[in-house]
Chain A
Amino acid sequence: MVLEDLLRIKEQELAARKKFTFRVCLAAGCVSSNSEAVKAALEKAVKDAGLDTDVEVRGVGCLKLCCGGPLVAVDPLNVVYQKVTPADAPGLVAALNGAQIGVAKVDLSHPFFAKQRNIVLENSGVVDPERIESYIAHDGYRALREVLREMSPADVIAAVTKSGLRGRGGAGYPTGLKWATVAKTKSSRKFVICNADEGDPGAFMDRSVLESDPHRVIEGMIIAAYAVGAEQGYIYVRAEYPLAIKRLQNAIRQARQFGLLGSGIFESPFTFNIEIRIGAGAFVCGEETALIASIEGRRGMPRPRPPYPAEYGLFGHPTLINNVETFANIPPIIRNGPDWFASIGTEKSKGTKVFALAGQVKHTGLIEVPMGITLREIVEEMGGGAPDGKRVKAVQTGGPSGGCVPASEMDTPVDYESLARLGSIMGSGGMIVMDETTRMVDVAAFFIEFCMDESCGKCAPCRAGTLQMHNLLAKIRTGNATAADLRTLEELCEVVKNTSLCGLGQTAPNPILSTLRFFRNEYIALLKSDATDKPANGQDRPDRV
Chain B
Amino acid sequence: MITAIGKTKQRALGPSAEKISADKRFKILETHMKRFQFKQDALIEVLHKAQELFGYLDDELLFYIAQNLKLPPGHVYGVTTFYHFFTLKPKGAHICVVCMGTACYVKGAGAILSALEDTLKIKSGDTTPDGQVSLLTARCIGACGVAPAVVYDGAVAPRQTPQDAINRVKGWVEHGA
Contact = CB atoms under 8 A, between A and B. Distances in A.
B62 interface: no
A297 B48 contact: no
A239 B147 CA distance: 20
Contact of A278 (B48, B84, B100, B144): B48
Given A277-B45, A297-B44, A239 B85 contact: yes
Nearest to A315: B41
A203 to B, nearest CB: 7
A312 to B, nearest CB: 16
A207 B156 CA distance: 15
Nearest to A296: B41
A364 B144 contact: yes
Contacts of B139: 199, 201, 240, 281, 283, 450, 454
B45 A278 contact: yes
A359 B145 contact: no
B29 to A, nearest CB: 16
Contacts of B102: 201-202, 358-359, 396, 399, 430, 432, 446-447
5 contacts: A66-B145, A199-B140, A202-B103, A240-B142, A396-B102
A296 to B, nearest CB: 5
A356 B144 contact: yes
A299 interface: yes
A393 to B, nearest CB: 11
B140 A240 contact: yes
Interface in A349-391: 356-360, 364-366
Contacts of B72: none
A24 interface: no
A67 B41 CA distance: 41
A282 interface: yes
A203 B79 contact: no
A431 to B, nearest CB: 10
A280 B75 CA distance: 16
A239 B48 contact: yes
Interface of B: 40-45, 47-48, 75, 78-79, 82-86, 100-103, 105-107, 138-147, 149, 155-158
B143 A29 contact: yes
A200 B140 contact: yes
A282 B84 contact: yes
Most buried by A among B43, B145, B155: B145
A438 B85 CA distance: 30
Nearest to A276: B45
B142 A300 contact: no
Interface string A280-302: 11110000000000111111100
Interface in A228-259: 239-241
A32 B144 contact: no
Most buried by A among B44, B103, B105, B155: B103
B48 A430 contact: no
A280 B48 contact: yes
Contact of B142 (A28, A278, A282, A396): A28
Contact of A69 (B48, B140, B155, B158): B158
A31 B138 CA distance: 19
Contacts of B48: 239, 278, 280
A319 interface: no
A434 interface: yes
Interface in A407-458: 430, 432, 434, 438, 443, 446-447, 450, 454, 456
